[in-house]
Structure 1
Amino acid sequence: MANWNSIPKELVTKIAEHVNLYEDFENIRLICSCWRSAAKEARFKGEPSIATDEHTLPWLMLPEKDNTSNRRRLYSLSNRKIRHMHIPNSLIKGGNINQKRVLSSHGWLLVTLDSNNFSLYNPYSGTTIKPPKIELWYNGHRQFGYCHNKFILSANPSTTSNFVVFLSLEGNVGYQTSPILVFWRSGDDRWVPVVDPAHPHPELRLSVTFRGFFDSVCHDITFYQGEFYGVSCRGVIVEFQTLYTYPYFRQVTKLPELPAGKRRDNCREHWLYYLVESDNQLLVVRHMLWADEKTPHRRNIKFEVLDLNVRVGFVKKVESLGNRAIFIGSNSSFSLQVTPNQHGFKPNCIYYADDRITGRWVRRGDECTESCSYDLTDGKCSTFYHGSSKPSSVSQFTWVESPSLSSN
């Protein structure tokens, strides 16, 4: 058997510099510690965006029928192949099956076991971070529990110890409870809830008012220029002021009302919203779809991109993303530079990973997969995954960023 450690470091570095796919580059780093050290000194010429962006090219994590399994499948758009990732048994076994979710941000996974038991896990290094338990301030969540809807990191814990975790929590499917927004700074001993500024007594954190931003689900959250921003299902965009004693939020803008949803047979027009930082801009992605009200089927129609000025609340339409691509879905949204005709991605495109959960969107029937890429150049949707996987009641398609070159 060959001794991989005996190969000269300089030769391994040269090999690493001549691979074209990041999957191959990452595999070189996994062979042994000597190869990982050599790869760190290599310049991966096949992917310039890794050196210039905070984010990295993602794989698509596919839904699993049995969420008790510690195996997850990652689909590569570069070579159309599936690789397997394993989550430690200690993070996935036991607990309530209806609350198990795996979300991703900066390549890290939020692995939930139940309402108060979850961990941050780096599937590439095997590192685990255990945040403190979340206190349940609201009686409805204490009684029925909640699920994690969004998981956002302010920075990659692999490259800095100074990071913030922001979570959007909802009542479990079938229960009408108020949303909870909380964040945790690394090193702190507790989570901090976001307080509605309309509440007359902010120190009384048991009540949540259902007006303005809190009158609908927080559909997406992103980190932009030192602060977190959120958008509701009704187009209300807020800045979370996490540096205050009582973390309020301020309304940045409410997107203009769109015409009432058109109907065609049993279908109705719907709009969903996402936030993403892109090249020092805060962009709003508006997703239009047709949803059949009697079946689980729905069809993506188009996506629009708006540039948001967070100081004055004005938005203007973005006609082109240039050499960048946007990734949205159940995970935290992000953008990065892509090289044309390489690695399975195209510039000036939006890559949408179907973020539905069966129990929330439909009441009967089989799910249909609606993940797609949308080209802003010609306004056409294309399917980038042709497999048989479908979202389940606790598992959906999720973008998982590949590890950055500076990660251990």
Structure 2
Amino acid sequence: MASWEDLPQEILELIAGRLAIEDFLAFGAVCTSWRSAAIKETYNAKSKALWLMIPVGNGTAEFFSTSRGRIHPVKLPGCRVQPLSPPRWILASRWGYNHRVSRWGHEYRIFNPLSQVGIELPSLAKLRHKSRLSLLKMRGQGGAPRIHRIALSSGTSSSGDYTVMVTICRDLRLLGYAIHRSGEDAWTGVSPATNLPRSNFLQLIHYNGRFVALDTHNRVMTLDERECRMQLRLVLGQAFTGYPYLVECSGALLVAWKIWSQEDGTVEQVRVFEVDLEKGTQEEVESLGNAALFLNGNSAISVEFHVESCLLGIKPNRIYFSEKKDEKMHYYSMEDGEVETYSDAPSVYVHGATWIQPDF
């Protein structure tokens, strides 16, 4: 063999598909033959990289790689960002004058920080079926309506079909729910579940082809896109002092409860339940197996490890989260039921940091 670039294409694809995301990008920059093997269709790394994202101002965020311990600054199309479901996307927003609707308000764009692909969302002022929202509040005094919770349909690309679902609030008061589909220039109002009062969503994700929400009354609901109406699936039997998260893990839908101490408000335990939407049942999970959960302020992701992890001390069967009181990252071990400090996370990146899983 004359040189490395003469390696067979199938060998190059096997190598490229198993690299950490940073190495995958560097691999494609070596030469033409390696670049042809380093395309997103071949990327299938067993242990996906995790990054800690923290906004630093001026439309820039820094991403701390847990696989390499390096920092990657990325320009963002907005001043305020938050992660969403699926975890490779973030929501970027900025305040400004929208010439399309001739008014001031929040402008939103869904953005993939790795591929730099962005999806511009319509102004919240462009809304069909306004009767499904609280019109008096929409027209009332106070701040402009804004997106509170958001989820994006899975498998989204810049050219493919997608649906976005959001909850719309004004000054933390719920106005209602809405969806936006690719190819449309407006939002469509969504009706609450029949015979149930409208309530705010704590969690909103896209799971198994549909949008799933968990509200403040511990009710799990799904969206009927055809009727543009929420449907009640089940009411959780627990009401812990803490905060719940919806997360897909190994194909199952989980509710992870971060339970706070009665004494000082720190996290003392995390309990996990698997939810069956079809049967309307739930069952407590004793072990995550080869998976780990990562809880943000208002979202969660999971990672399944098929091989020993090389992510700076991150291990399976743990649940990672941050504590505002000590500005440190912690984890809860499902094996021994103890809360420990995740010391591999730089303390400077804990305050305001959120977990994301960069992917194409």
TM class, shorter-chain normalised?
0.7 to 0.9
- Following the alignment from structure 1 to structure 2, what is the Cα–Cα distance between the partners of residues 29 and 169? 41
Distance 1:180 1:328, change over 3 A: farther
- 1:77 maps to 2:66: yes
2:7 match: secondary structure: helix
- How far apart are residue 123 of structure 1 and its match? 2.0
**Does the Cα contact within 8 Å between 2:118 and 2:158 map onto a contact in 1?**
no
- Following the alignment from structure 1 to structure 2, what is the Cα–Cα distance between the partners of residues 160 and 58? 26
Q: For 2:187, which of 179, 191, 213 is the aligned residue?
A: 191
Distance 1:165 1:34, change over 3 A: farther
**Does the Cα contact within 8 Å between 1:59 and 1:399 map onto a contact in 2?**
yes
Residue type of the alignment partner of 2:223: F
- 1:10 maps to 2:7: yes
- Following the alignment from structure 1 to structure 2, what is the Cα–Cα distance between the partners of residues 219 and 191? 21
Map 1:279-290 to 2 at 5 A: 279-290=250-261
Structure 2 partner of 1:369: 327
Structure 2 partner of 1:148: 147
- Following the alignment from structure 1 to structure 2, what is the Cα–Cα distance between the partners of residues 381 and 29? 41
- Following the alignment from structure 2 to structure 1, what is the Cα–Cα distance between the partners of residues 354 and 82? 8
Q: For 1:252, which of 213, 216, 233 is the aligned residue?
A: 233
**Does the Cα contact within 8 Å between 1:149 and 1:169 map onto a contact in 2?**
yes
- Following the alignment from structure 2 to structure 1, what is the Cα–Cα distance between the partners of residues 53 and 333? 22
- Following the alignment from structure 2 to structure 1, what is the Cα–Cα distance between the partners of residues 94 and 247? 28
- Following the alignment from structure 2 to structure 1, what is the Cα–Cα distance between the partners of residues 248 and 155? 15
- Following the alignment from structure 2 to structure 1, what is the Cα–Cα distance between the partners of residues 190 and 40? 43
Residue type of the alignment partner of 1:58: L
Q: For 2:81, which of 91, 101, 107 is the aligned residue?
A: 101
- 1:336 maps to 2:291: no
Q: When the two structures are superposed, what TM-score results if normalisation uses the length of structure 2?
A: 0.79
Structure 2 partner of 1:351: 320
Structure 1 partner of 2:215: 232
Residue type of the alignment partner of 1:126: Q
- Following the alignment from structure 2 to structure 1, what is the Cα–Cα distance between the partners of residues 251 and 53? 27
2:116 match: secondary structure: coil
Distance 1:328 1:76, change over 3 A: same
**Does the Cα contact within 8 Å between 1:368 and 1:390 map onto a contact in 2?**
no
Distance 1:131 1:41, change over 3 A: closer
- How far apart are residue 279 of structure 1 and its match? 2.5
**Does the Cα contact within 8 Å between 2:27 and 2:35 map onto a contact in 1?**
yes
Structure 2 partner of 1:202: none
Distance 1:334 1:257, change over 3 A: closer
Deviation digits for residues 33-81 of structure 1 (CA, Å, limit 9, x no counterpart): 7643232399778x325xxxxxx433110243xx3x1221111222333
Structure 2 partner of 1:402: 358
- Following the alignment from structure 2 to structure 1, what is the Cα–Cα distance between the partners of residues 90 and 315? 26
1:253 match: secondary structure: strand
Unpaired runs of at least 5, structure 2: 96-104
- Following the alignment from structure 1 to structure 2, what is the Cα–Cα distance between the partners of residues 103 and 32? 34
Structure 2 partner of 1:306: 273
Q: When the two structures are superposed, what TM-score results if normalisation uses the length of structure 1?
A: 0.70
Structure 1 partner of 2:120: 130
Deviation digits for residues 294-338 of structure 1 (CA, Å, limit 9, x no counterpart): xxx741111111011212322111111111122332464332311
- Following the alignment from structure 1 to structure 2, what is the Cα–Cα distance between the partners of residues 102 and 348? 26
- 1:320 maps to 2:287: yes
Map 1:203-218 to 2 at 5 A: 212=197, 214=199, 217-218=200-201
Residue type of the alignment partner of 1:399: W
2:151 match: secondary structure: strand
- How far apart are residue 228 of structure 1 and its match? 0.9
- Following the alignment from structure 1 to structure 2, what is the Cα–Cα distance between the partners of residues 153 and 380? 34
**Does the Cα contact within 8 Å between 1:287 and 1:304 map onto a contact in 2?**
yes
- How far apart are residue 9 of structure 1 and its match? 6.3
Distance 1:152 1:33, change over 3 A: farther
- How far apart are residue 112 of structure 1 and its match? 0.7
Residue type of the alignment partner of 2:165: F
1:132 match: secondary structure: coil
- Following the alignment from structure 1 to structure 2, what is the Cα–Cα distance between the partners of residues 134 and 258? 33
**Does the Cα contact within 8 Å between 2:294 and 2:321 map onto a contact in 1?**
yes
Distance 1:319 1:38, change over 3 A: same
- How far apart are residue 159 of structure 1 and its match? 8.1
Deviation digits for residues 146-169 of structure 1 (CA, Å, limit 9, x no counterpart): 443333221132387122222233
Residue type of the alignment partner of 2:112: N
- 1:276 maps to 2:247: yes
Unpaired runs of at least 5, structure 1: 1-5, 50-55, 94-99, 200-210, 260-269, 357-366
1:161 match: secondary structure: coil
1:388 match: secondary structure: helix
Identical counterparts, % of pairs? 22
- How far apart are residue 212 of structure 1 and its match? 4.6
What is the root-mean-square deviation of aligned Cα atoms in Å? Answer: 3.3
Structure 2 partner of 1:22: 21
- 1:387 maps to 2:343: no
- How far apart are residue 232 of structure 1 and its match? 1.8
Residue type of the alignment partner of 1:62: I
- How far apart are residue 229 of structure 1 and its match? 0.9
- Following the alignment from structure 1 to structure 2, what is the Cα–Cα distance between the partners of residues 127 and 38? 21
2:108 match: secondary structure: strand
Q: For 1:92, which of 78, 82, 85 is the aligned residue?
A: 78
Structure with more strand by fraction: 2
- How far apart are residue 186 of structure 1 and its match? 1.6
Deviation digits for residues 12-53 of structure 1 (CA, Å, limit 9, x no counterpart): 9759828864332233346687643232399778x325xxxx
